[in-house]
Amino acid sequence: MSISLKILTEADKEACETVKVSEEEISLGKKKLFIESYGCQMNFSDSEIVASVMRGAGFATTASEQDADLIFLNTCAIRDNAEQKVRNRLKQLNHLKKKKPGMLIGVLGCMAERLKAKLLEEEKMVDIVTGPDAYRDLPRLIEEAETGQKAVNVLLSREETYADISPIRLNSNGVTAFISIMRGCNNMCSFCVVPFTRGRERSRDPHSIVREARELFEQGYREVTLLGQNVDSYRYKSPDDNGETYDFATLLGMVAQVHPDLRVRFSTSHPKDITDEVLYAMKKYDNVCNYIHLPAQSGNSRILELMNRTYDRAWYMQKIDRIRAILGEDCGISHDMITGFCTETEEEHQDTLSLMEYVRYDYGYMFAYSERPGTPAAKKLTDDIPYDIKLRRLNEVIAVQQRHSLERNQRLVGRVHRVLVEGTSKRSDSDLQGRNDQNKVVVFPRENFKKGDYVNVLVTECTAATLIGHAVIELTADC
């Protein structure tokens, strides 16, 4: 049967604060596994791998921690508040564990990798600590923990991609799915823990990616998102005699050719690596969505250098210009932006606002800087911007983005959009919702349409977050 995760927080909350939990799986005589996942899409994708590994070890997922024999928290370490949320959750689970002494609790993912065995000392109720590259070892670690021993595996790998594991679609709505195409990150952004928690970059065999995409389409899925910390640096060299090399533009075309009705998205791109070849691949294939997430982090060149982003303001703006030149003004572009990074002046903050005015992003993920222990910034720079100033700057960035989001949506009113239906609208059972080519949420009356259908929707009104309209018979304009 299909399994899905229930989204507990609003979709527009900060990515690291999003939480998903496993739903009930029919099981007879199996132990019960409860997975709670925090953070980014990569974490949710990893939970699908974990569920697959644990199914092979005789576990079935449950939606209730009360029924669980084993609880996994798949954690995020990108910001301090994400880790604090996990610690608070562990305190809640400790009360449950006292009532069920045989129950095991494991902490997986980036927080586990960052703290390693120290986590066992700090959180006494934790039995298992496992990093992102050690999920195959979970059955052995559980056996070890069942004897009363604490079990740890936080070894990082230069080879592990989990390419041969068929994920259980824990985040599934039956329509959209993630496909992990690579793991790790070679970029050493000074603020970021990812290279230390997920290891070095390694790309997955492209043929296994295409095979997974084809299987998903045959199962009824109509959209895949290719995931990597930096998909544009995807590079796979075939181990056979011909030694053929595949880059991301090539992979994008291979997945697009699985079927014209399989939409293809990808995340995340890095400004230093995204190429014209990738943009032309997007233009060539109608089913590759016209949307790019291109984190800027700052609009000031000095701050970008301190962040070790390896590009400056002019480089980033040139990449935006290439996107507009090749894919047009309607291409959806989103961003990540950090306010109050070390030594950021008011004038440099204004550079971020002016960059936003130049690009006019469709939406973004915006954060006040949060120093992470062990990062180059924590070791070499001083977190010297007072929190109230960080927060004020963040609110200014958010206000600009809300204005731009509304303006960008208003441009799309009066046009017909091809929408992939993902389910019922959150506000009304009589409406459906899905997304268009540019990753915009579109809401329209249900009529006789169902999840997984492509529907042509004439947009008649909008908010900053949503397009609203009704179905029409024929597509009258390209979007």
Binding residues for [4Fe-4S] cluster: 40, 76, 110, 185, 189, 192
State the residue for tokens 């989204």.
7
Could you list the residues known to form a binding site, using ranges.
40, 76, 110, 185, 189, 192
DSSP symbols for 22-42: EPP---SS-EEEEEEEESSHH
Cα separation, 113 vs 76, in Å, equals: 10
Helix axes 41-56, 138-146, angle to 10 degrees: 70
Q: How many CB atoms lie within 10 A of CB 57?
A: 15
Cα separation, 49 vs 55, in Å, equals: 10
Strand partners, 247: 235
Q: Are 456 and 471 in contact (CB under 8 A)?
A: yes
Helix axes 276-284, 313-327, angle to 10 degrees: 20
Q: How many CB atoms lie within 10 A of CB 380?
A: 10
Nearest Cα residue to 216 out of 273, 186, 171? 171
Helix axes 248-256, 276-284, angle to 10 degrees: 10
Q: Are 437 and 422 in contact (CB under 8 A)?
A: no
Q: Which class for 302: exposed (0-12), middle (13-18), buried (19 or more C-beta within 10 A)?
A: middle
Contacts of 123 (CB under 8 A, 6+ apart): 87, 90, 107
Q: Are 76 and 192 in contact (CB under 8 A)?
A: no
| DSSP 8-state assignment for residue 362 | S
Q: Are 181 and 207 in contact (CB under 8 A)?
A: no
Cα separation, 229 vs 336, in Å, equals: 13
Strand partners, 265: 225
Q: Are 271 and 313 in contact (CB under 8 A)?
A: no
Strand partners, 207: none
Cα separation, 314 vs 360, in Å, equals: 16
**Torsion angle (degrees, nearest 10) of CA 420, 424, 429, 431:** -20
Q: Across the chain, which distance is largest between two alpha carbons, in Å?
A: 66
Cα separation, 115 vs 216, in Å, equals: 36
